[in-house]
Amino acid sequence: MEKIDQLKLIYEATLKEIDRYRDWPIRILAFESILFLAMLKVTIVDQIALSEVAKWLASVIVVIITAWTICYFYKCHMNYLKARSVQAKIQRYLELDQLKVADKEVIPKEWFDDCRTCLFQGFWGWGFYAFFSISIGVLTVLALWGVLTKK
């Protein structure tokens, strides 16, 4: 196998990883949201009374799912940054940063920069997911305990 064929395989695999790290957090957030919204409906709209044990059990489950989701978002974010750095290195190796049309760069320079593998690099994206996940988790726990309903 020639070097360029190997590079192509690595590049394609890297793109698949990048897509996965972009897509899965949204899917996980959708699943978590639907689960928690169903719990909100049962407690607020249907006003089904839960025993103390059920409230505690449901609360623990909500906290565990929320914590797991935040950890997953963090893991995906860090892996995304690593995969983007690999992609940038391959693009520089292929000298794609030299592409010009009418003396103007075709691809923005920042696409060739290595990504710092840091919690706050691109925080506004994954940070929003984390904030949303925590918010809906807190609302669900409050609803389970009747804090959000009139008595």
- Over the stretch 90-140, which tens digit does the pLDDT of each residue have? 888 888 888 888 888 888 888 888 888 888 888 888 899 999 999 999 999
CA distance 21 to 33: 19
Asked whether residue 42 is assigned to any structural domain, the reply reads yes
pLDDT digits (tens, 9 = 90+) for 9-43: 888 999 999 999 999 999 999 999 999 999 999 88
For residue 63, pLDDT over 90 is answered with yes
> Does 39 fall in a domain?
yes
CA distance 115 to 123: 13
Quick check: is 31 in a domain?
yes
| Overall average pLDDT of the 45-56 stretch | 91
Q: Which of 126, 141, 131, 130 is nearest to 63 (CA)?
A: 141
pLDDT(66) > 90? yes
Model confidence at 151, pLDDT cuts 50, 70, 90, reads low
Tokens of 141: 């726990």
- Predicted local confidence at residue 103, as pLDDT: 85
Residue 54: pLDDT over 90:
yes
Is residue 74 included in any domain, yes or no?
Answer: yes
Does some domain include residue 149? Answer: no
Whole-angstrom distance, CA of residue 62 vs CA of residue 40: 11
Q: What is the pTM of this model?
A: 0.83
- Owning domain of residue 8: 3-144
Please give the residue that has the higher pLDDT: either 5 or 38. Answer: 38
Residue 125: inside a domain = yes
Using CA atoms in the order 69, 74, 77, 80, what is the torsion angle rounded to 10 degrees?
Answer: -90
Q: Closest Cα to residue 137, out of 44, 40, 46, 45?
A: 40
Q: State the total domains in the chain.
A: 1
What is the reported pLDDT for 150?
66
